[in-house]
């Protein structure tokens, strides 16, 4: 049976002071199987307290989402930027090992620079993979939105150069680039046949092609993604991997509406249990 995870980024954010201790209370109210832990830059200074808290509560956290600004550093390039990116990436891997997370989601490119200097991102991947391997973490490159090209093009370039690379597929980011349906096409069947896609992020999107002002993480059903077709395809492929729901569930006051998330967990279960 597939694991359905909740991103801690759906619960913990700026309005509630990014207080990771809220996870203890929220975990009792959510009907997910575990969590994908979203790392924030401000938490490096309390790495030991963070890992002590997470280990002490017996949370099931099989996936850590790497701090996003690392990809931005890599995109900009230069010796100092890269050294800082590798240093922080290793801290993320260390945390993943401490909390028994076996997968790491990475924005290989990110920020305003995005994929403008994609060669920097391509060249950095082996070093990142080596660090992740040292900590026994499966590194998954996400189909992050692009300023210049598109994520599927970059995935193809990465796979050609690094044939054993692994990916996490995000529905919202694919829909933003009008690339969700590419997943179903014969020319991209290698993504499944060669075992590249190891994890899925399931979120809705309500905008048009590269409509930046509508790039928000929406709950299933509040956008225009055809999730019936998406889950029908996954069932046909025999997908048995995990899902993460990332839809923001807190308001401007930091209050979390767990019902928004629980409805999505149940929907995914019902879809994947269909014959």
Tens of pLDDT, residues 16-39 = 999 999 999 999 999 999 999 999
Burial of residue 21 (number of CB atoms within 10 Å: 0-12, 13-18, 19+)? exposed
Q: Quote the strand ranges of the chain, DSSP E.
A: 4-7, 34-38, 63-65, 103-106, 138-142, 166-170, 197-202, 242-245
| pLDDT for residue 1 | 73
DSSP 20-51: TTHHHHHHTT--SSEEEEEP-GGGGGGHHHHH
Whole domain around residue 49: which residue ranges? 4-272
How confident is the model over 209-237, as a mean pLDDT?
96
pLDDT, tens digit, for every residue of 62-97? 999 999 999 999 999 999 999 999 999 999 999 999
The domain total for the chain is 1
The predicted pLDDT at position 170 comes to 98
pTM equals: 0.97
pLDDT for the residue 74: 97
Q: How far apart (Å, rounded) are the C-alpha atoms in residues 263 and 275? A: 21
Average the pLDDT over 221-248 and give the result. 96
- pLDDT exceeds cutoff 90 at 10: yes
pLDDT reported for residue 254: 86
Q: What is the pLDDT of residues 244-267, one digit of tens each?
A: 999 999 999 889 999 999 999 999
Q: The domain that contains 95 carries what CATH number? A: 3.20.20.150
Mean pLDDT of 189-204: 97
> Which pLDDT score, from 0 to 100, does residue 159 have?
98
Q: pLDDT digits over 136-193, tens only? A: 999 999 999 999 999 999 999 999 999 999 999 999 999 999 999 999 999 999 999 9
Of 120, 163, 122, 172, the C-alpha closest to 144 is 172
């Amino acid at each position: 049976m597939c694991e359905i995870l909740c991103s801690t980024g759906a619960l913990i954010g700026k309005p509630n002071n990014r207080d990771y201790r809220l996870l203890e209370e929220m975990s009792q109210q959510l009907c997910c199987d575990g969590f994908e832990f979203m790392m924030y830059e401000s938490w490096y200074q309390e790495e030991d307290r963070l890992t002590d808290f997470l280990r002490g509560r017996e949370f099931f956290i099989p996936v850590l989402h790497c701090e996003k600004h690392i990809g931005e550093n890599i995109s900009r390039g230069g010796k100092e930027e890269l050294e800082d990116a590798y240093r922080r990436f290793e801290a993320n891997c260390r945390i993943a090992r401490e909390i028994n997370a076996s997968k790491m989601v990475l924005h290989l490119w990110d920020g305003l620079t995005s994929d403008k200097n994609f060669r920097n991102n391509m060249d950095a991947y082996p070093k990142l993979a080596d660090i992740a391997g040292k900590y026994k973490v499966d590194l998954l490159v996400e189909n992050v939105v692009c300023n210049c090209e598109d994520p599927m093009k970059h995935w193809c370039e990465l796979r050609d150069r690094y044939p054993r690379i692994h990916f996490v597929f995000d529905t919202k980011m694919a829909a933003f680039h009008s690339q969700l349906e590419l997943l179903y096409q014969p020319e991209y069947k290698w993504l499944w046949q060669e075992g590249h896609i190891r994890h899925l992020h399931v979120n809705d999107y309500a905008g048009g092609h590269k409509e930046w002002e509508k790039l928000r993480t929406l709950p299933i059903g509040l956008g225009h993604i055809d999730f019936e077709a998406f889950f029908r395809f996954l069932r046909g492929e025999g997908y048995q991997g995990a899902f993460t729901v990332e839809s923001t569930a807190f308001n401007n006051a930091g209050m979390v509406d767990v019902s928004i998330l629980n409805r999505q967990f149940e929907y995914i279960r019902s879809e994947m249990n269909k014959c």
